[in-house]
A and B are shown apart, each in its own frame.
Chain A
Amino acid sequence: MSATTAPAAKGNGFSIGRLLLEGRAFFALIAIIAVFSFLSPNYFTVSNFLIMSSQVAIYGILSVGMLLVILNGGIDLSVGSILALCGVCAGAMMQGITLDWAGVILYPPVWAVVVLTIAIGALVGALNGVLIAFFKVPPFVATLGVMYVARGVALLMTNGLTYNNLRGQEALGNTGFNWLGFNRIGGVPISVIVLAVVAILAGLMLSRSSFGRWLYASGGNERAAELSGVPTRFVKITVYTISGALAAIAGLVLASQLTSAGPTAGTTYELTAIAAVVIGGAALTGGRGGVRGTMLGAFVIGFLSAGLVIIGVSSYWQTVFTGAVIVLAVLMNSIQYGKGGRKS
């Protein structure tokens, strides 16, 4: 997963300051791991890393989608709500869909639930994309509106209640929903494997496919990209659709981990995802950033808050620390990009 970040100037010389600046998310992660390992003997263990990683997975999957949107120069505030809506939809399908006119209750198999849920997420994401690309609604406003609508629909569907016990029943042939959240392959939680697959696919797409090039170009200068024959509207709709689909996957993972789906799940997750992307060095103005950085950003946030819990710091302080890290990251971004381009 290399070369996903914007290529830096060659021959600028090797300086420690520059190395620290460009690898800041990586060094931050190392520092976090070192400090917490020193403070608590329980931190630096394989089992703890796997637990922390499976928590990071939810944010990580969301932040890959957010990265694509931010590379396009947009923002997606609706991912937290799409996550909840899709979780609730999955829950409803697991509980059985009552068809009154036919007098039957349908219990779709788990694979169908997963496919349908991802399709719903992609559809809501595509709605964002169409609003932004064709109706010229600013991304912030369009996704803010969809954020409320999706949350509201999730609440309406459940009347504000939570679907519990999504394990399914052997007799109905729909067991296995908790596989995503609980099982492990070779000791690694499924959710972490899902995150790795998503990240690798996104990394390949960005660095090797023509779509990736279109995305970097239209995020860097949409007018120039359009005049060069890049289908900028298609790119826009696609990134919001992918972001919605990834939010649905995150919703499935979360619902599976909890074996329950609530309409208030994922509140403010969109902000964490944005933070991960920013800490990962992506520019909010678009065109700059990569999957590697975003993953590091997600792990920095996840490992930091988990570490603070382990050493027994109050959750209020966690909020303060996370905020400070975000501000610091943006500060570094402006140092890196503020000078970029005009140099030499």
Chain B
Amino acid sequence: MTGGQIQGNPDAAEVVLAARNVAKSYGSVHALKGVNFDIHRGQVTTLFGENGAGKSTLMKILSGVIQPTTGDIVLDGRPVSFANANEARDRGISIIHQELSLAPNLSVRDNIFMGRELRGPLGVDFAEEERQVRALMEELEEEIDPLTPVEELRLGQQQIVEIARALSVDSRILIMDEPTSALSASEVEVLFKVIRDLTARGVSIVYISHHLEEALTITDHAVVLRDGTMTAYAPRDQIDLDWIVRNMVGENYDLGSPPDSDKRGVALSIRNLSVPDATGKDLVRGLSLDVKAGEIVCIYGLMGAGRTELLETCAGRLRATGGEIVLEGQEISHLSIAERIARGLALVPEDRQRDGLVQTMSVGQNLSLASIASFTRGLFTSSRAEKKLIDDSIRNVTVKTSGGAAPIGSLSGGNQQKVVIGKMLATKPRVIMLDEPSRGIDIGAKAEVFRLLAEGARQGLAVIYSTSEVSECLSIAHRIIVMHKGRISAEFDSTVTKEKIMAASGESVAA
């Protein structure tokens, strides 16, 4: 505690909430490794970092959603521990999550007072609730009727409702995890005005955004996280965009270099591919891309750029409305997923828990799942042939496990990812596509995954991987494709700079 609130000298403002040496582990995955973090009264602290750096984990700990493995939370100078988010909310800490947590079938009023309805003599006092919501909406300069069902609102308006809900509980500390990702420019302006009003009233804001420039206009402090540790801290007047990017991605961050491989013959050719979403809007628009055997191509882009849709369409999960997918000279758009795998096109999906692993099966059964036919003799599977395949896979992709019979849940995130990759490599593919292969795994495992891919390319495998971390583009990829709103917005070779890639992706960094 360093005295009262002094305008213009941010560091001198009182610390209301702080994290001291906070660490969080999920099994053998360390999401946070001893982070210190201060929130100053009446000021905005912005948290920068790449996906998986631990930002959301830290915010969830501060707001009581999850509990730290070790370390303390200090509120007003006293250590506290919150059993759940409600307890934190009662102490004045609210969080607005990245994913909206509204009930779409209920009205704006009911959503804002969900779980803490105002009681009147005749049950819930709807009139008073409605009055308060109208006052909130006036403050936020939004013309949203309190009785409108949330599902009828635009995404941006829903975000506003979420913010109004946090404001309605008189929070002293408000955590906003990517609040502007769905807002229009004018809505962002309103939000920033609200943030300034709030800070003037002494409310502290923690702000997380991938929109770096936008965050810089509002913040008083910047904190940068990388791989679960705090790498830099500075007040606003000492920082600029370069400083943030440099600290976000790090300097000596080696994930290998493009392997020397024989690049000959186009292995996969995507021509003029378009993929619609459920409402018919195109997520991928007329995209064309050729990948040679032995080549490693990295697809960089922000959330919603269409990377996942592109890869899932090639794999056969989604249907394209137009265009061709040609694998080694054969048009394959009409084939099923199984037929594409049989022809040598494999996908390692983005979400390994949801799309990659069968949690009820063992490590070995997961590894052999995509190549059952190869160890089936007549009617029955051969357990000897299967065991050989499993043992080979475990060795090839270096899975750390007690053996093929171990439950899949006993592995760390990185090893689970290697199982998913090993499963697809066991099908002996010609082209392998990996959607965010490094998501949620630590640096060591990342390096091993990339080494595997480089090794594959050396043996003539065509590799396509997507990422939302710039540092991963500049590792093993021969070619970097930047996607923005369903199109290729730029194409670079491996000598490009991080800033150029980020600029082409629509991430607002002046190059």
**A219 CA to B365 CA in the complex, in Å?**
14
Tell which of A10, A220, A230 touches B359, judged by Cβ atoms closer than 8 Å: A220
Residue B403 interfacial (CB < 8 Å) = yes
Q: Taking each of A221, A223, A228, A229, which has the highest tally of chain B beta carbons within 10 Å of its own beta carbon?
A: A228
Residue B285 interfacial (CB < 8 Å) = no
Chain A min CB distance to B363 (Å): 10
The answer on a CB contact under 8 Å between A221 and B358 is yes
Contacts of A204 in B (CB 8 A): 380
Proximity string of chain B (164-179) to chain A, C-beta cutoff 8 Å, 1 when within and 0 when not:
0000000000000000
Contacts of B182 in A (CB 8 A): none
- Given the known interface contacts A204-B380, A224-B355, A225-B369, the answer about A11 and B360 at a Cβ–Cβ threshold of 8 Å is no
The answer on a CB contact under 8 Å between A9 and B337 is no
**A219 CA to B357 CA in the complex, in Å?**
12
A window 194-226: CB within 8 A of B: 204, 208-210, 213-214, 216-217, 219-221, 223-226
**A231 CA to B341 CA in the complex, in Å?**
12
B373 to A, closest residue via Cβ: A210
Residue A7 interfacial (CB < 8 Å) = yes
Binds A, one of B231-239, B404-412, B436-444, B490-498: B404-412
The answer on a CB contact under 8 Å between B341 and A287 is no
Residue B361 interfacial (CB < 8 Å) = yes
B window 417-470: CB within 8 A of A: 423-424, 427
Proximity string of chain A (280-297) to chain B, C-beta cutoff 8 Å, 1 when within and 0 when not:
000100111000000000
A window 174-198: CB within 8 A of B: none
Q: Taking each of A208, A227, A288, which has the highest tally of chain B beta carbons within 10 Å of its own beta carbon?
A: A227
A221 to B, closest residue via Cβ: B358
Chain B min CB distance to A40 (Å): 41
The answer on a CB contact under 8 Å between A224 and B402 is no
Proximity string of chain A (137-166) to chain B, C-beta cutoff 8 Å, 1 when within and 0 when not:
000000000000000000000000000000
- Given the known interface contacts A209-B380, A220-B359, A224-B358, the answer about A341 and B372 at a Cβ–Cβ threshold of 8 Å is no
A window 206-263: CB within 8 A of B: 208-210, 213-214, 216-217, 219-221, 223-231
B405 to A, closest residue via Cβ: A10
Residue A173 interfacial (CB < 8 Å) = no
Residue B116 interfacial (CB < 8 Å) = no
Contacts of A283 in B (CB 8 A): 360
Residue A20 interfacial (CB < 8 Å) = no
Residue B255 interfacial (CB < 8 Å) = no
The answer on a CB contact under 8 Å between B372 and A210 is yes
Proximity string of chain B (463-493) to chain A, C-beta cutoff 8 Å, 1 when within and 0 when not:
0000000000000000000000000000000
B420 to A, closest residue via Cβ: A224
- Given the known interface contacts A209-B381, A213-B369, A341-B409, the answer about A227 and B337 at a Cβ–Cβ threshold of 8 Å is yes
Residue A323 interfacial (CB < 8 Å) = no
B347 to A, closest residue via Cβ: A227
The answer on a CB contact under 8 Å between A223 and B369 is no
Chain A min CB distance to B430 (Å): 15
Chain B min CB distance to A187 (Å): 32
The answer on a CB contact under 8 Å between B406 and A9 is yes
The answer on a CB contact under 8 Å between A227 and B356 is yes
The answer on a CB contact under 8 Å between A287 and B358 is yes
Residue B349 interfacial (CB < 8 Å) = yes
Residue B222 interfacial (CB < 8 Å) = no
The answer on a CB contact under 8 Å between A216 and B360 is yes
Chain A min CB distance to B50 (Å): 26
Contacts of B358 in A (CB 8 A): 216-217, 220-221, 224-225, 287
The answer on a CB contact under 8 Å between A287 and B361 is yes
Tell which of B315, B338, B361 touches A217, judged by Cβ atoms closer than 8 Å: B361
Residue B101 interfacial (CB < 8 Å) = no
Tell which of B341, B365, B406 touches A10, judged by Cβ atoms closer than 8 Å: B406
How large, as a class, is the contact surface on chain B? 35 or more
The answer on a CB contact under 8 Å between A229 and B407 is no
Chain B min CB distance to A93 (Å): 32
The answer on a CB contact under 8 Å between B360 and A227 is no
**A228 CA to B361 CA in the complex, in Å?**
14
- Given the known interface contacts A230-B338, A231-B338, the answer about A208 and B408 at a Cβ–Cβ threshold of 8 Å is no
**A210 CA to B376 CA in the complex, in Å?**
7
Contacts of A11 in B (CB 8 A): 402
Tell which of A9, A230, A341 touches B369, judged by Cβ atoms closer than 8 Å: A230
Contacts of A7 in B (CB 8 A): 362, 365, 405
Contacts of A228 in B (CB 8 A): 341, 369-370, 423-424
- Given the known interface contacts A220-B358, A221-B357, A221-B359, the answer about A227 and B372 at a Cβ–Cβ threshold of 8 Å is no
The answer on a CB contact under 8 Å between B354 and A223 is yes
Chain A min CB distance to B131 (Å): 41
Residue A343 interfacial (CB < 8 Å) = yes
Residue A31 interfacial (CB < 8 Å) = no
The answer on a CB contact under 8 Å between B406 and A227 is no
**A225 CA to B342 CA in the complex, in Å?**
15
The answer on a CB contact under 8 Å between A208 and B360 is no
Residue B379 interfacial (CB < 8 Å) = yes
Tell which of A6, A229, A342, A343 touches B337, judged by Cβ atoms closer than 8 Å: A229
A341 to B, closest residue via Cβ: B409
Residue B317 interfacial (CB < 8 Å) = yes
Tell which of B337, B338, B379, B410 touches A209, judged by Cβ atoms closer than 8 Å: B379
B379 to A, closest residue via Cβ: A209
Tell which of B342, B355, B381, B410 touches A227, judged by Cβ atoms closer than 8 Å: B355
- Given the known interface contacts A226-B337, A227-B317, the answer about A214 and B372 at a Cβ–Cβ threshold of 8 Å is yes
Residue B336 interfacial (CB < 8 Å) = yes
Tell which of B317, B402, B405 touches A226, judged by Cβ atoms closer than 8 Å: B317
Contacts of A286 in B (CB 8 A): 360
The answer on a CB contact under 8 Å between A213 and B338 is no
A6 to B, closest residue via Cβ: B360
The answer on a CB contact under 8 Å between A342 and B357 is no
Residue A45 interfacial (CB < 8 Å) = no
Contacts of A227 in B (CB 8 A): 315, 317, 337, 347, 349, 355-356
Residue A15 interfacial (CB < 8 Å) = no
Chain B min CB distance to A154 (Å): 35
Q: List 10 A-B contacts (CB under 8 A).
A: A7-B365, A209-B376, A209-B381, A214-B372, A220-B360, A221-B357, A223-B354, A227-B347, A227-B355, A231-B338
Q: Which residues of B contact A (CB under 8 A)?
A: 315, 317, 336-338, 341-342, 347, 349, 354-362, 365, 369-370, 372-373, 376, 379-381, 402-403, 405-410, 423-424, 427
Q: Which residues of A contact B (CB under 8 A)?
A: 6-7, 9-11, 204, 208-210, 213-214, 216-217, 219-221, 223-231, 283, 286-288, 340-344
Please give me the 8 A-B residue pairs with the lowest Cβ-Cβ distance, nearest first.
A341-B409, A287-B360, A220-B360, A229-B338, A220-B358, A228-B370, A229-B341, A208-B380
